A and B are shown apart, each in its own frame.
Chain A
Amino acid sequence: MRALRLAVRQRAARIALAVLGVVVLLMITGEWLAPYDPLHQDTTAILAGPSAEHWLGTDYVGRDVLSRLLAGSRLSVIAAAEAVGLGLLLGVLPGLASVYVGRVFEWLSLRVMDGLMALPFIIFAIAVAALLGNGLHQAMFAVGVLMAPSFYRVTRAAAIGLRQAQYVEAATLFGATRWRVVRTHVWQKVLPTVVVTTATAMAGALLVVSSLTFLGIGVQPPAPTWGGMLASDLGYLTQRPFGPVAPALLIIVTVAALNALADAMTVDPATTQEAPDALRR
C-alpha cells in the first residue's frame, strides 16, 4: 500500500487516522463504555446541561446524550460502510470490464452510469426506502448504487490509460491472458485511486446517512442515530441551544478526517485525474 505509506508520512494524515481509529474504537466498544442505557429515560433530568452524571447532558425525555451518541455511532458507521462496499463492487468491476470486455458493454455501462448520476442522492434514497420498505439497509442499498458511478469513473480512467501502455502491450505479446494483465498490471494502477475514492465516498456516505436519519428515513424512533439526535434537538433549541453541538461535531470531525486522509493519499495527480477526452469517445 504505497498510498497509505505515503500518507502516514504526513502529519495531517496521522491525525486523521488517529481520529478514525478513535471513532472505530468507540463504535466497537461504545456499548460497554456508555454510562447509561441509550433508551433509559431519566425523568428527573430532562434537557439537562452537562454535569458529572451526564457529561453531555440529556435530551427531551431525559436520555443520556453521551450514551446515545456512542450507540448511534455503530449504526451510522455500519450503514455508511454498507453503501460504500456496494458502490465499490458495482463501480470497480464494471469500470474494469468497460475497458476490457467489449464495445457493447462499454456503451451500455456508460449510459447506465450517466443515468445513475442524474438521480439526486437524497431524494432517490428516500424513494427507495419508501418503495422497498422503510429500512436503513434499503436506503443504503440505494446510496450504494448511486455511489457506483464515481468508482466506475476513476477505475475506468485509470485502466483506460493503461490499455495502450507499452509494458501492458509487451505482456500481451508474451502471451499473458487478458485476466492476468488486469490482475497484475492494471490492478496496481487502479488500486490507489480506488482507495482514495473509498475514503471520499465514506465521508459522503456518512453525510447521507446522517441526513436520512435526520429526516427519519430508515430508523424506528427510539433507536439512536447521529442524524436522529440532531432532529430531536431541533425541537428544543430554545431550552437547550447547544444541544446539537455534540452530534454535529462528531459528524464533522469524522467526515473531515476521512477527507484529510483522502487528500493525503492522493499520490500521483496523473492517476487520479479523469481523462475526459478518452472517456467521451
Chain B
Amino acid sequence: MRALHAAGRAALIAVPVLFIATFITFGLGALSDQNPAAAAMGETATQADIDRLNHEFGLDRPFLERYVTWIGDAVTGDLGRSWFTHIPVAESIGQRLPVSLSIAALALLLAVVLGAAAGIGAALTAGGWFDRAVTAVCAALSTIPAFVAGIALIVVFAVLVPVFPAGGYVPPSQGVGPWLTYLILPAVALSLDSAADLARQLRTGLVTTLRENYVTGAVVRGLGPRRVVFGHALRNGAGPAVAVLGLHVPRLIGGAVITETVFAMPGLGQLATTGALQGDVPVVQGTLLVAIALVLVSSVLVNVALARLRPGSVRTA
C-alpha cells in the first residue's frame, strides 16, 4: 500500500515533467529548418515537392495542433514515419530497444552487484587497506568515460587477448550464451562509473549507520555480524545509494548510446546518430521520447524502492 502510494506520487510528479520534456523536444523540431523534402531529395526538390511532402507529414498545420496530434499518437504507440525510409519510427525503435535495454540492464545489474560488494566490504573494513583500495579505484574509475573504458576493454579482451568479440550483437533468441558474450564488454564498460559511485555512497552511508546506537544494541544483543549488517544497518545505510542509483539510470540509458557505437551494436544510439546526421526529425524525436519515458519510469521505480526501504521518506518527500 505504501509502495503504491509512493508510486502514485512519483507518477504525479512525472506527468508534468513528461509534458515539459516532450514539449521541448517537439519545439526543437519545429524550430529547425529541416524539412522532409530537403532531407529526402536534397537540392533537387522543387517548391511543389516541398509543399506536397510538408502536407503529407502535416507540417503545414499550426504548431500546437501538431504537438497535440504527435503526443496523442505517441500514447497509442504511433511515432510517425521516417522522412527518409518512410518506415514507422515505432517499428525501428522496437527493433533496437532490446539491444540498448540489454546493455543498460546488464550494466545496472553489474553496477549494483559490484558496487554493493565493494561498498559493503569497504564499510566493514573502514580505514583498512581494502577500504583505501576501493576508494582509490572508485576515484580513478569515475574519471574514465564509458566509451574510453569500452575501447580499453576491446584492446585488452578482443585484440591483445581475444576472448570476447570486439563488437556486434546477437539476439537472445539465438542462444543466451552468445548473447551474453557480445553483451559483457559493453555492459562492463558502461557499469564502471555507476558501480564506483554506488560503492562510494554505500560506504559512506553504512559507515555512518554502523555507528548508530541501534547497531551497537544489535551487536550487544548477540546478533552475528551478517545479521547486523544485512538485517539492520543496510536498510538505513542504503538510502543515499538507492537515490544515487536513480540518478544513474538516465546516465546508463544515455551511456548505452555511446557504448553501442563503440561496439558497433544496432541499438537506439545508432538510430539516433544516423537520424541526426541525416536530419531525420521524426526518428530523433521518437528516440528522445522513448528515452525520456524510460528515464521517468525508472525514476518512479526508484522512488518506490526508496519508499519500501525508508517508510519515513514518503512523508517528507
Q: Is the CB of B277 within 8 A of A132?
A: no
Query: Which of B29, B147, B276, B288 is the one whose CB lies under 8 Å from A211?
Result: B147
- Which residues of chain B in 273-308 are interfacial with respect to chain A, using CB atoms and an 8 Å cutoff? 273, 275-277, 279-281, 284-285, 287-288, 291-292, 295-296, 299
Contact B160 A126 (CB under 8 A): no
CA distance A126 to B271 in the complex (A): 11
A-B contact count (CB 8 A): 163
CA distance A248 to B149 in the complex (A): 9
Asked if A121 lies at the interface with its beta carbon under 8 angstroms from chain B, I say: yes
Complex Cα gap A217–B147 (Å): 15
Choose among A112, A130, A242, A276 the residue with the greatest number of B CB atoms under 10 Å from its CB: A130
Cβ B28 vs Cβ A119 within 8 A? no
Which of B21, B32, B144, B166 lies in contact with A252, CB distance below 8 A? B144
- The listed residue (A119, A133, A215) touching B258 by CB distance below 8 A is A215
Residues of chain B lying within 8 A (CB to CB) of residue A132: 28, 31-32
Q: Contact: B292 with A120, CB < 8 Å?
A: yes
Known A-B contacts A131-B281, A214-B258; the reply to A118 vs B275 at CB < 8 A is no
B165 within 8 A of A: no
Please tell me if the beta carbons of B288 and A119 are within 8 angstroms of each other in the complex: yes
Interface class of chain B by DSSP: helix
Question: Which residues of chain B are within 8 angstroms of A165 by Cβ–Cβ distance?
Answer: none
B88 at the interface (CB under 8 A from A): no
Closest residue of chain A to B23 (Cβ to Cβ) is: A115
From A112, A129, A242, give the contact of B276 (CB < 8 A). A129
Are the C-beta atoms of B281 and A130 separated by less than 8 Å? yes
Q: Which of A21-77 touch B at CB < 8 Å?
A: none
Restricting to A226-281, which residues have a CB under 8 Å from any CB of B? 227, 230, 233-234, 237-238, 241-242, 244, 248, 251-252, 255-256, 259, 276-277, 280
A169 interface hit (Cβ, 8 Å): no
Cα A119 to Cα B253 with chains together (Å): 11
A-side contacts of B20, CB under 8 Å: 111-112, 114-116
Report chain A residues within 8 Å CB of B255: 122
Residues of A within 8 A of B154 (CB): 234, 237
Determine how close the nearest CB of chain B comes to the CB of A135; give it in whole angstroms.
12
Out of B143, B152, B288, B316, which one reaches A256, CB within 8 Å?
B143
Instruction: Verify B142–A259 contact, CB threshold 8 A.
Output: yes
The verdict on B64 contacting chain A, using a C-beta distance below 8 Å, is: no
Complex Cα distance, B142 from A230, in Å, reads 19
A212 to B24, CA, bound (A): 20
| Chain A interface helix/strand/loop/mixed | helix
In the assembled complex, B145 has its CB within 8 A of some CB on chain A: yes
B-contact 0/1 string along A108-143, CB 8 Å cutoff: 000110111111111110111111111000000000
Inter-chain CA distance A129–B274, complex, in Å, is: 12
Tell me whether A123 and B272 are in contact (CB under 8 A): yes
Least CB distance from B128 to A in Å reads 22
Instruction: Supply 12 A–B pairs (Cβ within 8 Å), ascending by A.
Output: A116-B20, A120-B291, A123-B257, A124-B288, A126-B276, A127-B272, A127-B288, A134-B277, A210-B147, A211-B145, A215-B269, A244-B151
Which A residues have a C-beta under 8 Å from some C-beta of B? 111-112, 114-124, 126-134, 203, 207, 210-211, 214-217, 227, 230, 233-234, 237-238, 241-242, 244, 248, 251-252, 255-256, 259, 276-277, 280
Pairs of residues from A and B, 4 with the lowest C-beta to C-beta distance, nearest first: A115-B20, A130-B276, A120-B254, A131-B32
Beyond the given A128-B28, A227-B147, please list 12 additional residue pairs across the A-B interface where CB-CB is below 8 A.
Answer: A114-B16, A115-B17, A118-B250, A123-B272, A126-B276, A203-B143, A211-B145, A217-B277, A234-B151, A244-B148, A248-B152, A251-B145
